[in-house]
């Protein structure tokens, strides 16, 4: 891959990560403001992860890895592998978010932790997705 196209890919991946992080944080805050019951923090984090995951999956599959499905079986295989790789990045992200929430006891600092954790997780996730998810075994 030429360095110009590699730079373009890196910029695109970074922009898509920022979009997914923004959507995640937005839906966390939305959930936090709408739902006031037990486990509000956990509910907001799960909601943010779900919507952020769907966004990131679509953008990665279509615009980063240019992956076209060949069958329904292939669809489910790729989605399953993507979910598995997302698990690791989610653990990193939640560890940072919860640590910042505990250390600073301020919602905005929790989001700072989320941004740091998601940034680290997405960097690692790109490597895992390229190596294990969006590969053709034809």
The answer as to whether 110 is a domain residue is yes
Percent of the chain with pLDDT over 90: 82
Q: Does position 127 have pLDDT exceeding 70, yes or no?
A: yes
Taking residues 66-81, what's their average pLDDT?
A: 90
Assign 6 a pLDDT band (cuts: 50, 70, 90).
Answer: confident
Taking residues 42-48, what's their average pLDDT?
A: 95
The answer as to whether 53 is a domain residue is yes
Which of 24, 2, 13 is CA-nearest to residue 134? 13
The answer as to whether 44 is a domain residue is yes
Domains identified in the chain, total number? 1
Average pLDDT value over all residues in the chain: 92
Taking residues 18-32, what's their average pLDDT?
A: 95
Taking residue 94's Cβ as centre, other Cβ atoms within 10 Å add up to: 19
The answer as to whether 93 is a domain residue is yes
Q: Does position 4 have pLDDT exceeding 90, yes or no?
A: no
Give the CA radius of gyration of the chain: 16
Q: Using an 8 Å Cβ cutoff, are 80 and 52 in contact?
A: no
The answer as to whether 20 is a domain residue is yes
CA 103 to chain centre: 23
Domain around 31: 3-133
Percent of the chain with pLDDT over 70: 96
Q: Does position 130 have pLDDT exceeding 90, yes or no?
A: yes
The answer as to whether 138 is a domain residue is no
- The pTM is what? 0.88
Model pLDDT, residue 81: 95
CA 36 to chain centre: 25
């Amino acid at each position: 891959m030429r360095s110009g196209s590699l730079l373009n890919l890196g910029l695109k991946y970074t922009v898509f990560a920022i979009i997914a992080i923004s959507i995640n944080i937005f839906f966390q805050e939305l959930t936090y403001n709408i739902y006031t019951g037990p486990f509000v923090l956990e509910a907001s984090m799960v909601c943010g992860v779900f919507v952020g995951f769907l966004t990131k999956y679509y953008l990665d599959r279509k615009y980063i890895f240019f992956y076209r499905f060949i069958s329904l079986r292939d669809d489910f295989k790729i989605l399953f592998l993507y979910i598995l790789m997302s698990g690791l990045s989610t653990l990193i992200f939640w560890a940072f978010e919860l640590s910042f929430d505990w250390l600073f006891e301020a919602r905005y600092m929790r989001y700072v932790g989320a941004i740091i954790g998601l940034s680290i997780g997405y960097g690692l996730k790109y490597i895992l997705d390229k190596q294990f998810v969006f590969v053709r075994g034809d």
